[in-house]
Amino acid sequence: MIVTRFAPSPTGELHLGHASAALVAHAEARRGGGRFLLRIEDIDAGRCRAEFAAAILNDLAWLGLDWDGEVRRQSEHFDDYCAALARLDGEGLLYPCFCSRKDIAAAGQAPHGPDGPLYPGLCRDLSPGERSERIAAGRPYALRLDMAAATARAGRLEWLDRTVGTIAARPDLFGDVVLARKDTPTSYHLAVTVDDARQGVTLVTRGDDLFAATHVHRLLQALLGLPTPAYAHHRLLLDDHGRRLAKRDGATTLAALRRAGRTPAEVRAMAGQKEGPDGKPSGPGIRHQGMLEGSVDHGIIPGSR
Q: How confident is the model at residue 240 (pLDDT cuts 50, 70, 90)?
A: low
Reference 33, options 72, 4, 59, 7; nearest CA is: 4
Spatial strand order of the sheet with 158-161 comes to 165-168, 158-161, 230-234, 203-207
Give per-residue pLDDT as tens, 125-165: 999 999 999 999 999 999 999 999 999 999 999 999 998 99
pLDDT: which is higher, 122 or 279: 122
What CA–CA distances, in Å, run from 29 to 37, 81, 191? 9, 27, 22
d(CA 54, CA 59): 9
Give the torsion through C-alpha atoms of 20, 25, 26, 30, to 10 deg.
140
Which pLDDT value is given to residue 142? 97
pLDDT score of 3 more than 70: yes
In percent, the amount of the chain with pLDDT more than 90 equals 72
pLDDT score of 221 more than 90: yes
pLDDT: which is higher, 43 or 276: 43
DSSP designation for 303: T
d(CA 108, CA 106): 5
d(CA 261, CA 183): 43
Which pLDDT value is given to residue 276? 53
Query: Going from the N-terminus, what domains does the chain have, and what CATH number goes with each?
Result: 3-288 (3.40.50.620)
Spatial strand order of the sheet with 3-6 comes to 3-6, 35-40, 72-73
Q: What is the mean pLDDT of residues 224-240?
A: 88
Q: How many Å separate Cα 217 from the centre of its chain?
A: 9
- Tallying the residues shown for the chain, one arrives at 305
pLDDT score of 304 more than 50: no
Which pLDDT value is given to residue 247? 59
Q: Which residues pair with 267 in a beta bridge?
A: none
In percent, the amount of the chain with pLDDT more than 70 equals 84
